[in-house]
Amino acid sequence: MSKSNLPRGAFNRANPNMPVIIVLLLIIAVISLLLCVGLGPVTVTPGNVAKILLSRIPAVGSAIPRSWERLDENIVLGLRLPRVCLGLIVGASLAVTGVTMQALVRNQLADPFILGVSSGAAATATLGMLFGVFAFFGEYSLSISAFIGSAVTIIFVYTISRVRGRVNISQLLLSGVAISMIMDGVTRIITLSAPNALGLHNAAFWMSGSLAGAKWGYLTLPLAVLLICMAVLMINYRGLNLLLLGDESAGALGINAGRLQKLLVLVGSLMAGVTIAVSGTIGFVGLMVPHFTRLLVGGDHRRVLPISALLGGILVVWVDVAARMLLAPEEMPVGILTAIIGGPLFIFLLKRGSRDKKGW
C-alpha cells in the first residue's frame, strides 16, 4: 500500500473529513431503512414506506393522503420496521464490540463470534430460557444471562491467551475455537433435552442468528446499551488508541492499562450479551466492519468507533434483506450469510498477517 494511491476527497485516509463522512453514512442509513423496509416477500414501494412512516409522525401525519393498502401498513409497521431497526442496532453493536475486543487483545482478528463469546452468550441464554435459571432478573433475564455468558467467555479466552503480559494470537484464536465448540455443544445439549419446543428460540436460532420475529419491545435494551457503551468508549478513545501500542507504552503514556482493559471486558460483553439475546449469533460483523472502517479513516478510535457503528448497522440491514429474499419464501438465518461473506476476509487477514509478520 503506497502513499500515492490513497483515496482522495472525504475518504482521504491521511486526512478524512469526518463531518462529511458521517452525514453521508447517515443518509445512506436512512435510504437503506426506507428501501429495506419495503423489500421482502411482499414488496412495498419506498414511496409508500416513506408515506406510511410520515403518517405516524404526529404533526405532519394528518397531511399525508392515505394511498396504501392496510396490509402494507401492517407489514411495514408491525414486521419490517422493527426488524430493520433491530438490524441497525445489532449491526452497530456487533461492529463496536469487535472494535472493543480488538483493542483489548491488540489484534484485528478479534470478533465476538471468532473468540467464542457469542457461543458463550448463547449457551447461558438457552440455559436461562429453558430452566429459568436467571428468572429472578425478571424481564431482562434473557439479556442478563447472555451477558454473563459473554463476560465469562471473554475473561476466560483473554486469560488463556495472555502469555507473559502479551496476548498470544494463536492461543487466542485456538482457545476461541475450542470454547465456542464447547459452548455450542452445551447449547445443543440443552435444547435437545428441552421438554417443550422452544418456539423460535431454538438451537438453530442461537447458532446461526436471525432478525426474524423482531418486535418493538426487543429494541429498547440493546439501543440503551449501545448508546451508553458508545459514550463510554468515546470518552476513552485516547486510552483505546494507546492500548494498541501495548500495555507498557500505554502505561508510560499515562493510562492505567489494567483498569481500562477491565472496562473493555465489561463494555464488550455487555454489548455482545444484549445483542445476542435478541438476534442470536451473527458472526464476522465485528471483524469485517472495523477492518473496512480502518481502511477508510485509519486507526484512531475517535473516528473508528462512530464510523464502525454506522457501517455495521447498514451492513447487517442489507445482509438481512438478502437473507429473506434469496430463498424466498424460505428465510435464511442472517448469521449464515455473514459467515459466508466474512469467513473469506478472515482467512485473507490471517494469510496477510503471517506473510508480513505485522501484528504477530
CB hemisphere CA count around 308 (13 angstroms): 30
Binding mask 244-283 for another protein (x = CB under 8 A): xxxxxx-xxxxxx---------------------------
Binding mask 305-324 for another protein (x = CB under 8 A): --------------------
Residues 50, 238, 341, 349: which binds another protein (CB under 8 A)?
Answer: 238
Select 14 or 197, whichever has its Cβ closest to another protein.
Answer: 14
Select 86 or 296, whichever has its Cβ closest to another protein.
Answer: 296
Q: Is 198 in the site for another protein (CB under 8 A)?
A: no
Task: Please name the residue that has the C-alpha cell 472493543.
Answer: 100
Part of the chain binding another protein (CB under 8 A), chosen from 84-92, 193-201, 238-246, 272-280: 238-246
Part of the chain binding another protein (CB under 8 A), chosen from 57-65, 103-111, 116-124, 140-148: 103-111
Query: Buried b / exposed e across 305-321, counting CB within 10 Å, b at 16+?
Result: bbbbbbbbbbbbbbbbb
* Minimum distance, C-beta of residue 352 to another protein, in the bound complex (Å): 11
Residues 242, 278, 310, 314: which binds another protein (CB under 8 A)?
Answer: 242
Q: Which of 133, 258, 122 is nearest to 191 (CA)?
A: 122
Q: Is 8 in the site for another protein (CB under 8 A)?
A: no
| Per-residue cell: 153 | 467467555
Q: Which residue type occupies 119? A: S
Select 83 or 294, whichever has its Cβ closest to another protein.
Answer: 294
Residues found near another protein in the complex (CB under 8 A)? 1, 3, 14-15, 106-108, 165, 235, 238, 241-242, 244-249, 251-256, 294-295, 298-300, 302, 358-360
